[in-house]
A = this chain, B = another copy of it.
Amino acid sequence: MTTSHIISTTASPASHEPLTPLAFLERSATTFPEREAVVYGSRRSTYADFEAEVQQLARALAKTVEPGQVVSFVAPNTPEMLVAHYAVPLIGAVLNPLNPRLAGREFSYIFEHARSQIVFVDSEVAGVVADAAASLESPPAVIELIDKEFGVAPTETLPTYTDFLAAAGEQTTENTFSYSVADELAAITLNYTSGTTGPPKGVLYTHRGAYLSALGNTQHYRLDGASKYLWTLPMFHCNGWTMTWGATATASTHICLRAVRQDAIWDAFEQEGVTHLCGAPIVAASIIEAERAHTLDSPARLITAASAPPPSVIEGLENLGITPVHVYGLTETYGPATINEPQDHWAQLSVTQRARQLARQGVPMLQNSQVAVVDPDGNQLPADGVSQGEVVIRGNGVMAGYYQNEAATDEAFAGGWFHTGDIGVQHPDGYIQLMDRLKDIIISGGENISSIEIEGILHSHPAVADAAVIGIADERWGERPVAYVVANGDLDLEQLRELCRSELAGFKVPDAFYLIEELPRSSTGKIRKTTLRQLDS
């Protein structure tokens, strides 16, 4: 009987190609060699140039780095950082991109944990990084990336990237690296994420996960060959939400950006015709508030995460011809894992109503299969918009695991789901909405208080530019919420308290309201609540 059943098929080399985002570069460089691939100030590279640079770095790396070893890059969004996203995995090695703002001890911890073979570092932090490397028992080689376009003066003490590349020699048929990989589950990058406690964990991405996430992102954001992607999101952050590979898959143009400044963004809009950019709402606010702000000639999309865009930002962007797209994810999910898919009938809603809809973190993107909310025992909670639990995700857009940290991996993957550590609800329509970070939730008198909920109320006040709510220790209640607000013009704090009283259960109304000039934020735009807590203690 079994002969009449077609149970499976066999993989043939003709029809089974391991998935890898490296193939995107091969395809775009072959098909569109003359199209602009990378723009950085006066530097403009075609896809043919870009590919040649990738092959050159790969040849140079291959002299000392073996497949499976780690290469670190500490740099802002320069063309070299983008090249590294292809050249390092091209030789079978693993890219470890790092935030230049890390502290020396963080660098040395990571270099040691990842056993980095070489560290490439931008001149701006070359001293700190060289010291961090030198402090190790087996120090990695340190190579300086000199940014003649927008960077600082070179140290003139470290070996340079240019010299490193010179050793690569000329490209020949024999030393050209193939864009195909033997194993789609091989690691492509190692991204360290700082937890609230303990040392940073190394998040492993695979070639398969990167391929599927990149394609999912470009499909959702609607990139194509005419798109101009502006690098406002750091490439060291989840490999730029996989857009380092995604914008190449669609043969779009990467517009690199050293620093996220208002003027530089508007220059890019005006001179390069930017169509897509990603970033925290703070990036959106900075675009809107610019004196030069004007309606764009052709529509653009701003993909935003970290916190929900408030009505004023949505309206502000739309007036400029920019559509906001709200996504949610973590380093462990290759960046965005869910997307707030706009429903057809939302077009008829007022901007305030749409903001309420758009505030939700949404539904799984194509690369993921499911998102749910679970109780502490891992039982799925009803999608009723009320039951709060931990948000969990599964799908090809989830990391392979934490490098050399089986205990943390097992904990994160308990029950076959990735546990985000974020608290949320699932609405009856399947959209999830974050209520709080697991660590940030305020527990008062045994009741959970969502700081995000209160922040939403505060944001709805026209004179509030920014707001954060934290919990402070309280003898009677355990914890009580207090609010920090940035004013946008005249702001009466008593009025704000009244607003909260009218919108929230009494126990949720903050005990205190403080005016602050600016909220402390991480490089990725998340509010540093720990810093706020220190202010209050």
Q: List residues of chain A with CB under 8 Å of any chain B CB.
A: 4-17, 19, 23-24, 26-27, 30-35, 66-70, 94, 115, 180, 183, 185-187, 190, 204, 206, 208-209, 212, 215, 218-219, 222, 224-225, 249-251, 341, 343-345, 363-364, 366, 368-369, 393-396, 398-401, 403, 409, 412-413, 416-418, 429-430
Measured CB to CB, the nearest residue on chain B to A33 is B429
The answer on a CB contact under 8 Å between A204 and B68 is: no
Question: Could you list some 17 contacts between A and B, CB below 8 A?
Answer: A4-B115, A5-B66, A6-B204, A9-B206, A9-B400, A11-B185, A15-B394, A15-B398, A15-B413, A16-B185, A27-B363, A32-B343, A33-B429, A35-B344, A215-B366, A222-B224, A249-B366
When all copies of this chain in the complex are counted, the total is: 2
Q: Do the beta carbons of A14 and B398 come within 8 Å of each other?
A: yes
Q: Which residues of B contact A13 (CB under 8 A)?
A: 394, 413, 416
Complexed CA–CA distance, A394 and B17 (Å)? 8
Q: How far is the CB of A365 from chain B (nearest CB, A)?
A: 9
Nearest chain B CB to A274's CB is how many angstroms away? 17
Nearest chain-B residue to A202 (Cβ)? B6
Q: Which residues of B contact A187 (CB under 8 A)?
A: 6-9
User: A186, B4: Cβ atoms under 8 Å?
Assistant: no
Among A17, A68, A185, A209, the most chain B Cβ lie within 10 Å of the Cβ of A17
The answer for the CA separation of A212 and B15 in the assembled complex, in Å, is 12
Q: Which residues of B contact A369 (CB under 8 A)?
A: 17, 23, 26, 180
Distance in angstroms between the alpha carbons of A17 and B364 in the assembled complex = 13
Query: Is the Cβ of B68 less than 8 Å from the Cβ of A32?
Result: no
A366 to B225, CA, bound (A): 13
B69 touches A27 (CB 8 A): no
The docked-state distance in angstroms from the alpha carbon of A33 to that of B427 is 14
Residues of B within 8 A of A69 (CB): 4-6
* CA gap between A430 and B32 in the complex, in Å: 10
Q: Are A12 and B366 in contact (CB under 8 A)?
A: no
Chain B, residue nearest A413 (CB): B14
CB-CB under 8 A from A209, the residues of chain B are 15
Pick the residue among B10, B185, B395 that contacts A400 (CB under 8 A): B10
What are the residues of chain B within 8 A of A218 when measuring CB–CB? 219
Q: Which residue of B lies closest to A332 (CB)?
A: B15
Beyond known contacts A7-B186, A14-B412, A225-B341: 14 more, CB 8 A cutoff: A5-B69, A6-B69, A6-B70, A9-B185, A13-B413, A14-B418, A15-B400, A15-B401, A23-B369, A32-B341, A33-B429, A34-B344, A34-B345, A251-B341
A360–chain B nearest beta-carbon distance, Å: 12
User: A68 with B403: in contact, given A224-B222, A398-B15 (CB under 8 Å)?
Assistant: no
Q: Are A67 and B5 in contact (CB under 8 A)?
A: yes
Residues of B within 8 A of A345 (CB): 34
Known: A31-B430, A430-B30. A12 touches B215 (CB 8 A): no
Select A12's contact among B16, B190, B413, beta carbons within 8 Å: B413
Per the bound structure, the CA–CA distance linking A310 and B206 in Å amounts to: 44
Asked whether, in the complex, the Cβ of A68 is within 8 Å of the Cβ of B396, the reply is: no
Q: How far is the CA of A204 from the CA of B222 in the complex (A)?
A: 31
Cα distance, A249 to B218, chains bound together (Å)? 13
Give which listed residue, B32, B250, B393, contacts A219 with CB less than 8 A: B250
Q: How far is the CA of A410 from the CA of B386 in the complex (A)?
A: 58
Contacts of A4 in B (CB 8 A): 68-69, 115
Closest to A66 in B: B5
Residue from the set A15, A67, A409 with the largest chain B CB neighbour count within 10 Å: A15
A117 closest partner in B (C-beta) = B4
The contact of A27 among B19, B30, B66, B364, by CB within 8 Å, is: B364
Contact (Cβ within 8 A) B396 A8: no
In the docked arrangement, what's the CA distance between A166 and B358, Å?
41
